[in-house]
Structures are given as structure tokens and as C-alpha cells.
Structure 1
């Protein structure tokens, strides 16, 4: 790649990064998108709750988006991993794993998060297929099915309330001793939600579609879907390395304009919000692109 200096470098070329790059490219900004090709939903067979794209495969949505963005000669793509970034006099310098160096006036992190999946046999294979994160994205497709929740404590209680909107055939697996209060336990039982405290050994499944939860005591519970919220970490460590504030949930902290606490650095998409969906990633990316362009205009006018 001959061009080395840009108006904006976007770290992450999935839905939010692509949306931002289109917004900026149409604003006549020289944009570089650096992407390593590992979106968190790469195993998910269908995307939902995104109008005009409901039911489409996530990989198809992103591929179509990239083809459209590539029509703008103002946007370039670099397949690789950004490993270092530093502030320089007129912006930022970004170094890649392969040794290339690029500079820009502004940085947008649209780098997403990495889910830290538990060591339950079958969990990784089912993740995004029948082990689900978001009922708004996937709940309709498993409505009224035999469903389990893997969670404990306050989160388990609130998650159970939420998922009961989509199915009443619900059981809660705390994967160890329950941390629910007596009152919460009583409420869940009154709602017909069974509570299993035995530790989980594995999932029986076929091609990611679960049929049974197997506990360590070899008891089995038949289910067609599971909801779980495993811990996660930032997919890219560079925001923290640069001093961007990370909130208590582990997300890059941004204001209403998608700005971090570091001047010239912005963030959008899954790395900034617990509301992880394609539609929200696209929305925040598009908005971040407009904000960055306006800031560049204000600086130059």
C-alpha cells in the first residue's frame, strides 16, 4: 500500500467500522480501515432485528457492506492487525503486525470484543447458534421452546425475568451453588422456573444445535436453546494502552458523541456498549463518522 497518511484510521472493519468508513468516505475523507477478520458473531448463522436485513447471514451483510464501501475511492482497506499506536505531533501513528506504519489525524476504534467462553464441552461449538446472548436478536426463533439460562445471582434473576417474555418453558442453571436470595428463588419457582445448581459438564448437540445439558452428576436436561452471557475482553488492547477510559463493564467509555477521553480518539460498536447488535453497531458507526468529519471541518475552517 503506497498511501501512508490518512485523515482517519479505523481499527475494525466489521459492521460499525464499515458504517463509519462509508460516512467518512462520502465526506471526502481519506480513510484506512485496518481489520484482522475476526468478528465476534462469525459463527452465528442468521442476523435479526436489523430492518431490511432480517434473517440474513452476518457474513453476507458484512461482505455486501464492504463491496459498497469499496466503491468509494476515498476508503482503503488493510488486512492485518494493528499492534501499536502512539500520539504524534499532528495525530497518531499506527504500526501493524507485519511492520507497516500508517499515520492519521483521527482514530476510530470499532474493534469489538472477544467473548471468553467457559470450558464446557460443546459450549464453543454451540455459541451463536443455539447458545445465545441476546433475545432481541434471536429470541423469536426459539420462542416457546425448552430453554435454559446459565447465570447466577442478581444477573440470573433479571435474565430469567427477561427471557420469560419469549418462553415459559424455562429452567435456570446456576452451574454451582445458587447465589439467589430466598425471595428471588421463591419468585422464580412460583413462575415455574426450575433451578439446577449442579455444575455443568457438557452440551450434547449436532452441528451446534443443542439437545441436552449434561451435568457432572450425569443428569441430563433437554433444551433447544440456552441463554448465556460469558465474560468478555476488548478485542483490541490499544484503547487501554493509549489511556482511554474503560468502564466497570470492560467497555471503552465514550460520551454522547462517541468520543473517548483522549482527544482525537473515538469508539463505536460492540467495544462501547452492552447492547450488542448489528443494527446498533451500524448506527453508532455512522454517527461516529459524521462526528469525526465535523471535528475535522471545525479544525480546518
Structure 2
């Protein structure tokens, strides 16, 4: 059902109310666009204790940043918030119809911004999920400074492993590479590891011993426990929502929503921003992408009516 009196047709509907979605909403709100944000409250960084590498907010919790951002965005009188999950989107006569999981409720919008995020596919290693985002981490730029000089392991293989090793080696000399099985590395790469005194272990990782998410030891098959302070991990991901696929949005080879320089997808009127369309996973990047998506959506609205 649609409450026409309360909602009518929005200029833009934003699916996802974390950093990217809120940033897009602020840009649109400041252009006096009628905007609806639909969010189910499950950001991928909800377990991360602190956010870093974001000017003015370094060290704040992601929850604090989101709460402040939400209060500032909703201060604009044309921006609205709806709690819930957007289940599907269709188009009717050039208007996007977004249906939610709340009693069949739906909303209409002229443009659509997908800020739906991604979901990490964590390995089924005991203790890993409890440490994820705390001491089992993915990004040296987001977390590396806090673990500088610490005993650090990297769980990865192949080219991805070498990429992470090269970045993390700048932060600590006490570095171990865990390939979790036979190393997919050539002679040149192995020589690089030896040159930088990086230990290579191929034994499978069995479990993480931790205290409230703070890793203490890594248990490897057939070896002694390794004392560690941090574990970087290159884990695969999946899109948090399939809405872009039902709309016909294409993806990159890596699985991100494919966008142009202005956050536009291949589907007219549909934009994407944040982790769902970028390999640069950070709050700062999400805010920048959302700002651009909001401006691009507003420009299309201008062009449609000017």
C-alpha cells in the first residue's frame, strides 16, 4: 500500500542509510529535493570499534559517525527516513516503485540511488567472525596504524597476498604470511618474501584464540600456536542486495556494480555508491561517492525539467 498523502512521489529514493546513502541524501536535501532513505540497520562495519583515516572523525565509532550524520541529514525538511528492508524495485511508467518488508508498503521515486553495501563471506574458522573488524581486519589504511610494529599475520594467497604483504610490511617488520594451504606464489614472489624476512606458512588455519575479538593466538594444523596481535584477511564478498540485478544493472569482473565517473549505472535513472560499487572500502570513500551520486541525480532531475 502507498500512503499518497504522506509520501507521494519522491524525487529520489536511496536504498541504504550508511555513510554513502546519508552523504547522497545530504547533497539532495540541500538542493531541496524530496528524498526517502530506506535502511534496515545492518552496516557491514557494525562490529568495528573505531573508524580511521576520515578527516574530523578519526577514532570515532562507526555508530557515532552514522548517528551524527543521520541527525544532520534529517534536519533538512525534505529528507525522510524509513526503517526496513527494500525487497524489490520495479519501474512503472518511468517511476521506480520500491517495495519493502513492512506489510507490503511501497514507495515511488523518480530516481534511485543504491547504497546497499556488500557482505563479507567469512571463512568458517572458529573465532574468526568474533574478531572480524576488531583484530581480524581487511584494510591497512583503515586499521594498520593501530597495529604498527605488532606481531601480524596475513591470511591470503597469490597476487592478493603479495599486495597485502607489500602494504603491511611498511607498518611492521614482524610479519607472517599464511596461505592456508599450498602457496600459489612464483619464484620471484618467494624471493621477495625472503628478502624482507617474511615468514611463509602453508599449514591450514584451524582457529583463532581470542578475548572478546582481540586475537591472542592462531592455531595451525600440525604446528604450535602462533602468538599474534592482528590478522589481515583477504575474504570474498557478495552484494548485500540483489535489487541491482533485477533492474538489469551490470557488474564488474570483481562483482561490484558497474558505474561511470558520475556513479551512474547502465540503467537510466539508477545510481550506485559506496562499497557495492567500489573496491576502496572506507567511510571516507563512501562519503565522497555518495556526495557525487547525489549531485549527479540532482543534475538529471534538473535536466529533466529545465
Same fold (TM > 0.5) = yes
Aligned to 2:63: 59
C-alpha contact 2:95 2:110 (8 A) present in aligned 1: yes
- Report how many residues are paired: 301
The answer on 1:23 being equivalent to 2:27 is: yes
Deviates more, 1:138-147 or 1:155-164: 155-164
Q: Which runs of 5+ in 1 are unaligned?
A: none
Among residues 102, 113, 117, which one is paired with 2:118 in the alignment? 113
Per-residue Cα deviation, 1:211-258 (whole angstroms, up to 9, x for no partner): 111012252111101111210011111001111011111100000010
Q: Does 1:40 pair with 2:51?
A: no
Q: What is the Cα deviation at residue 162 of structure 1?
A: 1.4
Give how far 1:88 is off.
1.5
Three-state SS of the structure 1 residue aligned to 2:133 is coil
Give the whole-Å Cα distance in 1 for the aligned partners of 2:89 and 2:8.
Answer: 14
In structure 1, what is the equivalent of residue 172 of structure 2? 167
Counterpart CA distance in 2 for 1:154 and 1:26 is: 44
SS of 1:288's equivalent in the other structure is helix
State the SS of the aligned residue for 1:62. Answer: helix
1:146 and 2:151 aligned: yes
Give the secondary-structure state (helix, strand or coil) at the position aligned to 1:286.
Answer: helix
Match of 2:277 among 263, 266, 272: 272
1:244 corresponds to: 249
TM-score normalised over the length of structure 1: 0.98
User: Which aligned segments of 4 or more residues in structure 1 are displaced greater than 6 angstroms?
Assistant: none
Q: Give, in whole Å, the separation in 2 of the partners of 1:171 and 1:20.
A: 40
* 8 Å contact from structure 2 (residues 160, 234) kept in 1: no
Distance 1:155 1:94 in 2: 38
Partner of 2:214: 209
Task: Tell me the equivalent position of 1:261.
Answer: 266
Structure 2 alignment gaps of length 5 or more: none
Q: Please give the root-mean-square deviation of Cα atoms over the aligned residues, in Å.
A: 0.9
Answer whether contact 2:259 2:265 (CA < 8 A) is retained: yes
After superposition, give the CA deviation of every residue in 1:151-184 in whole Å (9 maximum; x if it has no partner).
0112112211111111111000000111111221
- Residue 84 of structure 1 corresponds to which residue in structure 2? 88
Which of 61, 69, 72 matches 2:73?
A: 69
Q: Note if contact 1:91-1:264 (Cα within 8 Å) is conserved in structure 2.
A: no
Q: Report the TM-score when normalising by structure 2.
A: 0.97
CA distance in 2, matches of 1:179, 1:299: 53
SS in 2 for 1:64: helix
Correspondent of 1:13 among 14, 17, 40: 17
Aligned-partner Cα distance in 2 for 1:218–1:12: 44
